[in-house]
Amino acid sequence: MNTNTTRPFRAHNLALCLILFVSNAWAFYIPGYSVTRYNDDQSIPLLVNKIFSDHTQLQYAYFDLPFVCPPSGRTHGGSPFGSGQSISLNLGEVLRGDRIMTSDFELVMGKDVECRSLCTAQVSRSDVKWARQLIKENYVIEWIVDNLPGATSFVTVDRSRKYYASGFKLGYRDISPATGQSRYFINNHFTIVIRWRSAPEGGKVIVGFEVYPKSISADDRKEDGCPKAVHKDQEGLGLYIAPNMSRLREKYGGLSYIPEDDDDDDGATLEIPYTYSVYFREETKVEWTNRWDLYFTNQGEGSMTHWLAIINSLTISTVLGVTVFVIWSRTVQGDIKGRGDGAMEDRKLKVQSRRKRSGEKKSEGLLDNADVEHDADMSSDDEPFEDTSGWKLLHGDVFRVPAYSGLLAPLVGSGMQLLFMATGLLVLSCLGILNPSFRGGFVSVGMGLFVFAGVFSGYFSGRLYKTFGGSGWRKNTLITALLFPGLTFCLVLILNLFVWAQASSTAIPFGTLIGLLALWLLIQVPLVYIGSWVGYVRAKPWEHPLKTNAIPRQIPPLPWYLRSPAGPLLTGLIPFAVLFIELLFVFKNLWQDKSGYYYVFGFLSVVSVVLLVTVVEVTVIATYSQLCSENYHWWWQSFLTGGSSAFWIFAYCIWYYMFKLHITGFVSTLLFFSYSFLACAVYGLLTGTVGFLAAYTFVRRVYSAIKVD
């Protein structure tokens, strides 16, 4: 059978298998590694975490809020830990701003509680003002029971399905019908619904955790602090303390305008009584293994859009693949086989024949000055390539060491490190190992993969540096180990100073920063050194099929798109078009639905693979066009072409910020653009490395077919 006909058939089968894998893997996950079963009358711990909002990047630990019930320190349900005890967190949880602690809520399996008082908080004017600001910015609270976040329950428009949104509102605001001004109410009663089902092995498992918050006035309450009518509509508890007019007149003197919202503490407080109800309801329609599905309902509804993204990506990649195939089969191989080598051999025979005749003429004394000059021209190095394509004329310069090669090698090494990390994360996510029940697992595992991949970073950087003819490999190792991680650490440290000033849980604790620094300097740097030693000392440099001339060839005038940065930027639009639709889901999850979980990694993996293939195709086409223009400075150009789509992604971040997000405040804006820049830098390094390696492989393969004496 002809191999040329079997290749498309195999590619077709591979594409079908990939699509079948995605259709089964897009929502697959392992919901947990151990099932917790509860017996009747067994205590269930309720953990409090943080508050967050889609209007800001600042998060706050729940117990850091001055207007909630502080932990009493008492133990509940036989637990050895009192309320307010911090739960040990992994690195990912700390970096994402989690601050999980035990609480004073008492939950006992199977026992409903109509109402129970938690505490009565005394809130000052300044704390009331902060609570109003948090409610204005739509902050929501996150609690945890059995590793499930407390959820707000919603029903689809046709009432056929229920779905969850993680977290519940801190409070709400409305407009006063009398004054037309905004009024703020805090939710001070929580109806907790625990949904359970019987486990085949015995006991009960929790399959749902719902919280229904409510604001109830402090008036008309029982002696135990509970409202007399908990579940009836009542007037809410407004966040308002009447101004002390005598103090304000004294403070502002004879001013005609006296601000009534002055938050200077004068001893006045607002009492906020907190209560809660607990109800246990059996749920037979939800299996324990599928209990996270309710959090993914909205993402599942967008599956058609994901398929459109894949079709769009495959269409673009296929068109580019055909172009690369034409370049390779007809222009390159056809030129070499059809007339390249033959033309070269014919020209060499003509040169030898002419030289022979010239020698005969010289011996007879018949050679004039014109013949001598003509023969000298024919004996030049470029003489065998006079009638060949432009890219062949670069045989003596195409592998010339690029400028700033000492920077290119570390960048390629860092890109390989990031490529290994991203591949590992996508594979583990598609296998279901990284899932929402593994809180912070994505960041923790990603950090571990990045540190371990320092070996690959050092190896590729060292070997490429040796190929460039570098001699200071230890200096190259140091640059590789410190360049990208060092810039990232400095950026995070500077951002942390701003977040620390806001007393936000988003700030990385000082101990964690020291741990990250130790992880970088004591583990990653030695791994980079080992990899660099193997790549530079033990491994051989990559061999080039042609030798480089001593004198560089003069480059003719180039088109505008080859001599300006506009060329690589324009080529970056094509990979961006491949990724654009999937970016809508990623951005919506990261910046808008912070309470949600992105978990369609099967689709994202396919789009990522197609993206890398597209980057390879675009870089090969751009490199070939550059070589045909007799420009041998393709090294940096291929790297920039591969990573140029990062520019368009950052431009998309700016557009998304202006038209889709509601972020307010300088610090939140700074965090958004800093995180976006860092993500685009990671993406640019990764795709730039892929583009560089693709161009390097293409150039070596093409010029290996040329034989030069």
* Residue range 80-106, pLDDT digits in tens: 778 899 999 999 999 999 999 999 999
Within 8 A by CB and 6+ apart from 436, the residues are: 29, 292, 295, 597, 599
Q: Which helix (H) or strand (E) holds 48?
A: strand 46-52
* pLDDT tens for each residue of 673-701: 999 999 999 999 999 999 999 999 999 98
Residue 81 corresponds to which tokens in the numbers above?
């830990």
- How far, in Å, CA of 645 to CA of 274, rounded? 52
More confident residue, 294 or 412: 412
Domain-embedded: residue 605: yes
Mark which of 486, 513, 543 sits at the end of a domain: 543
More confident residue, 117 or 591: 117
More confident residue, 12 or 58: 58
- How far, in Å, CA of 629 to CA of 623, rounded? 10
658 CB-side CA count, 13 A:
6
- Residue 40 is predicted with a pLDDT of 94
Domain count, the chain: 3
* pLDDT tens for each residue of 483-536: 999 999 999 999 999 999 999 999 999 999 999 999 999 999 999 999 999 999
Query: pLDDT at residue 620 above 50?
Result: yes
More confident residue, 232 or 602: 232
Domain-embedded: residue 147: yes
Domain-embedded: residue 17: no
One domain, residues 511 and 651: no
In 109-256, the DSSP E strands lie at 113-124, 140-145, 148-149, 151-155, 162-166, 168-169, 171-175, 182-186, 189-198, 204-214
Q: Whose CA is closest to 686, among 382, 417, 309?
A: 417
Q: Kindly write down the DSSP assignment for every residue of 664-691, as one continuous string.
A: -SHHHHHHHHHHHHHHHHHHHHHHHHHH
Domain that holds residue 412: 404-543
- How far, in Å, CA of 618 to CA of 630, rounded? 19
- Residue 369 is predicted with a pLDDT of 47
One domain, residues 223 and 90: yes
Mark which of 510, 543, 576 sits at the end of a domain: 543
Q: Which helix (H) or strand (E) holds 101?
A: strand 101-102
Mark which of 251, 273, 297 sits at the end of a domain: 297
> 675 burial class (0-12, 13-18, 19+ CB within 10 angstroms)?
middle
- Residue 49 is predicted with a pLDDT of 95
One domain, residues 480 and 605: no
Query: pLDDT at residue 567 above 90?
Result: no
One domain, residues 395 and 416: no
One domain, residues 123 and 225: yes
One domain, residues 113 and 159: yes
Residue corresponding to tokens 């009493």: 72
Residue 575 in contact with residue 680, Cβ under 8 Å?
no
Residue 671 corresponds to which tokens in the numbers above?
């965090």
Domain-embedded: residue 15: no
- Residue 266 is predicted with a pLDDT of 65
Burial code of 509-519, b = ≥16 C-beta within 10 A, e = fewer?
A: eeeeeeebeeb
One domain, residues 328 and 449: no
Query: pLDDT at residue 12 above 50?
Result: no
Please list the residues that pair with 155 across neighbouring strands: 162
The dihedral over CA atoms of 201, 203, 208, 213, expressed in degrees to the nearest 10, equals -170
Q: Whose CA is closest to 211, among 123, 149, 122?
A: 149
Domain-embedded: residue 279: yes
One domain, residues 516 and 580: no
Domain-embedded: residue 651: yes
Reported as a pLDDT band with limits 50, 70 and 90, residue 260 is low
Domain-embedded: residue 252: no
One domain, residues 519 and 443: yes
Please list the residues that pair with 183 across neighbouring strands: 174
Q: Assign 478 to helix, strand or coil.
A: helix
Asked which of 186-195, 247-256, 523-532, 534-543 is least confident by mean pLDDT, the reply is: 247-256
One domain, residues 44 and 183: yes
523 CB-side CA count, 13 A:
13
Q: Output the CA–CA distances (angstroms, integers) from residue 510 to 111, 127, 496, 513, in the order listed.
A: 42, 27, 10, 5
Please list the residues that pair with 197 across neighbouring strands: 205
Within 8 A by CB and 6+ apart from 72, the residues are: 82, 83, 84, 104, 119
One domain, residues 165 and 138: yes
One domain, residues 135 and 211: yes
Whole-model pTM: value is: 0.84
Secondary structure of 274-292 in HEC code, one letter for each residue: EEEEEEEEECCCCCHHHCC
* pLDDT tens for each residue of 429-477: 888 888 888 888 999 999 999 999 999 999 999 999 999 999 999 999 9
Domain-embedded: residue 156: yes
